[in-house]
Structure 1
């Protein structure tokens, strides 16, 4: 067997879910394999996870604590780790959206950790339940208790301002950045709002057009750049029910984009925004909501996100891996994409559990290396074709990651 790129094969083996723990340890000892190579996999057996959880290298356990394919219950096994960096990684969680959350008992246990640095992590890392924050408000360490009380006493959103005088000074100046800042400031006098609505800078006009006090007619009268990326608006994210409805149905895409990210967006507005003509609105809805239509997630994957899972990023920071992990991503019926001219669509056929082995074999001969790699990782692939793809450079890594790869073959790929 001639593998053109041995290192690519090793990286594929590192994410092979069927690899025994002993073989994983041999890979972990290879300096060419990074901790992320070892832990960037889609699924974990308990045996493999526990093997690396006991690894003496804290950098390996740190990466394991943020593995996107591990369940929350598996990651929780690191709660007793002696490294503070591992515990921080555990609380930060995987970098991908829609990862399985940690069980609540993990935060409660760490709230009693003897090291103040660990307890302090709970006051500024996301995901700490409010009851745990209340517990930390009585912490013997005054800094931790103060930080926890500040979280409990956090006030609702209130618009901040540089003041009317400073806002006018910025609005009348030559700096585009200062005029843009003034255009969004709540203290800017109405006559200056009118002036900046006709500013020569598109950025300034866009900022004016997103002020909360404007009517729809006033927004429509401003020549703002509709297709430009817009920031999320704090006042929309904090909007009450009636104001949120107005924003979600506004003609201004910036308001609708922010409404799509509102933490209390009602179900009927989810449906409204799922049909929004602006792809950015639909992408943001997929980024922030689990209860979106599956077809919307699939369409966003194919039309908004550019690139391959686990590496790329698209609009709103979405990656292909984020979207295929989305709770609403379709799990069946993907075989219909077999005839699509889009290589990313054809690659999704391997995610359909009802796709027959013959179809996977057909995909393994696709003109696109992306599609062939997706087929190479599918355990339904005929064994002889799997070995052929292992020896083909563009598909070596994916074939080595295939759980159907015979163990003797996998062991021959390891350095002696």
Structure 2
């Protein structure tokens, strides 16, 4: 079965024009229905995957005989989750798998959860192999919190996977659950955790050769003295001292030993340990490696004066990306302490908090650290238009494009960037309804393909240039998606199967 990229690559120019018509917000419902019924697969893919659809078209998609067409809609990030949920009992495994995997789209963009009753139904009826991948991203926070206590046993079973976050009382309830499947899963998890906390069992089971199971054991499980000594004297692979450096079961004398390890990466990991002794902390605070000193400088027990006494440097070229919304708010006192800190890394940590109160949002919006401002823009639902725009202009790192998906990202005033040296900033002019026809025309000749594509869709593009681009191999489908396309020309494309009369 061809991939979506393969489907698009095989589409000819006429088909790509029809795909543009399918995306055009001016295309009437009856024309969309006609494309859905008669157009090639590439057109149906774009129609069902890449735009919001009117309800009559949604109804028709759900009844479409082609499973791939329904599957495209199952992953549509623009569709209301309640619309996608109507595919929950699709007769084809292929479609159900796409629904479970969830929408595609910009990396890091927030995914709206499916309705709770749909998720419960999927947990109760879908094969386990479908409930991995992107499925968990589609569970609402309320339902996620209720998993271990949900009245439906198939849902409580999935709550067992949160074993490490559950209270002793809740674990006991799952072990005594009325449902056999829940009890067995809880018992299996309890036994697994008991074994992982037994150094003798871990030593007996730990593979001698390097593999995923060995790395997992060295990082997370209780380690016997024999295992620790073997890593110190005869590791199976490079990096194993670093692996055990964060293990909670590490004896105090080994923590002290690794704090003096010749490998700075090992010392950096040791610097994060909550059980680090005061002597080791003082030594690492003056470590010759700047990453080690930086790691020590953010330790929670330090006062602001103690932090300031450490010669640390905070990198400004990091990746400031969006994070998933947590199920529970952080301790508000700790968040405020971090926001009040003079240490940029702690303020960055506060800026990531989706529940940050309004006064701290206002203050951190003007922070002198770029990372603080960008993280706040990437994560806080109330990030202002001015903050979002300034963050986009200053930040050029990973997931920069996510900023333009935030609710308050501006549209007006962006035409001023039409001549900006940064291609991504120039492309912002496509979002401004006041971009002049002259600027739109010029930017369709831009050296960057993304800028050319974005401005080809601008409604202020001069009609003569828009018509010309309908015959451009690269930009024809963008031109056909332009909402200013004359209705007669748009309908003519459909009548001619995407071909252009001469």
Length, aligned pairs only? 389
**Residues 78 and 398 from structure 1, CA distance in 2 versus in 1: closer, same or farther, beyond 3 angstroms?**
same
Displacement of 1:284 in angstroms is: 1.4
The aligned counterpart of 2:78 is 69
**Residues 90 and 277 from structure 1, CA distance in 2 versus in 1: closer, same or farther, beyond 3 angstroms?**
farther
**Residues 263 and 376 from structure 1, CA distance in 2 versus in 1: closer, same or farther, beyond 3 angstroms?**
closer
Displacement of 1:182 in angstroms is: 0.7
Map 1:267-286 onto structure 2 (within 5 A): 267-286=358-377
**Partner Cα separation in structure 1 for residue 142 and residue 162 of structure 2:** 9
Kept in 2: contact 1:137–1:146 (CA 8 A): no
**Partner Cα separation in structure 2 for residue 273 and residue 296 of structure 1:** 10
**Partner Cα separation in structure 1 for residue 400 and residue 405 of structure 2:** 10
Map 1:11-22 onto structure 2 (within 5 A): 12=20, 15-17=23-25, 18=27, 20-22=32-34
**Partner Cα separation in structure 2 for residue 160 and residue 257 of structure 1:** 26
The aligned counterpart of 1:390 is 470
Tell whether 2:351 aligns with 1:256.
Answer: no
The aligned counterpart of 1:130 is 142
**Partner Cα separation in structure 1 for residue 468 and residue 415 of structure 2:** 24
**Partner Cα separation in structure 2 for residue 292 and residue 191 of structure 1:** 42
**Which structure has the highest helix share of the two?**
2
Backbone CA RMSD of aligned residues: 4.0
Map 1:207-218 onto structure 2 (within 5 A): 207-218=295-306
Matching residue within 346, 352, 361 for 2:432:
352
**Residues 403 and 300 from structure 1, CA distance in 2 versus in 1: closer, same or farther, beyond 3 angstroms?**
same
Kept in 2: contact 1:65–1:94 (CA 8 A): no
Tell whether 2:271 aligns with 1:183.
Answer: yes
**Partner Cα separation in structure 1 for residue 461 and residue 494 of structure 2:** 16
Tell me the secondary structure at the aligned position of residue 77 of structure 2. Answer: coil
Displacement of 1:124 in angstroms is: 4.4
**Partner Cα separation in structure 2 for residue 74 and residue 211 of structure 1:** 47
Displacement of 1:168 in angstroms is: 2.1
**Partner Cα separation in structure 1 for residue 156 and residue 366 of structure 2:** 46
TM-score (norm 1): 0.76
The aligned counterpart of 2:391 is 300
The aligned counterpart of 1:308 is none
Kept in 1: contact 2:354–2:381 (CA 8 A): no
**Partner Cα separation in structure 1 for residue 377 and residue 320 of structure 2:** 17
The aligned counterpart of 1:311 is none
Map 1:98-177 onto structure 2 (within 5 A): 101-102=112-113, 104-107=115-118, 110=121, 113-115=124-126, 117=128, 124-131=136-143, 133-134=146-147, 137-141=150-154, 145-149=156-160, 151=162, 154-155=165-166, 161-163=248-250, 164-177=252-265
Map 1:357-368 onto structure 2 (within 5 A): 359-360=436-437, 362-366=439-443, 368=446
**Residues 80 and 71 from structure 1, CA distance in 2 versus in 1: closer, same or farther, beyond 3 angstroms?**
same
**Residues 189 and 350 from structure 1, CA distance in 2 versus in 1: closer, same or farther, beyond 3 angstroms?**
same
Q: Deviations over 1:157-185 (max 9, x none)?
A: xx983443442232222233322211101
**Partner Cα separation in structure 2 for residue 210 and residue 319 of structure 1:** 26
**Partner Cα separation in structure 2 for residue 171 and residue 112 of structure 1:** 47
Kept in 1: contact 2:355–2:380 (CA 8 A): no
Displacement of 1:290 in angstroms is: 1.3
Kept in 2: contact 1:81–1:87 (CA 8 A): yes
Displacement of 1:24 in angstroms is: 4.4
Tell me the secondary structure at the aligned position of residue 187 of structure 1. Answer: coil
**Partner Cα separation in structure 2 for residue 323 and residue 413 of structure 1:** 38
Tell whether 2:335 aligns with 1:244.
Answer: yes
TM-score (norm 2): 0.65
The aligned counterpart of 1:220 is 308
**Residues 172 and 335 from structure 1, CA distance in 2 versus in 1: closer, same or farther, beyond 3 angstroms?**
closer
Displacement of 1:410 in angstroms is: 5.1
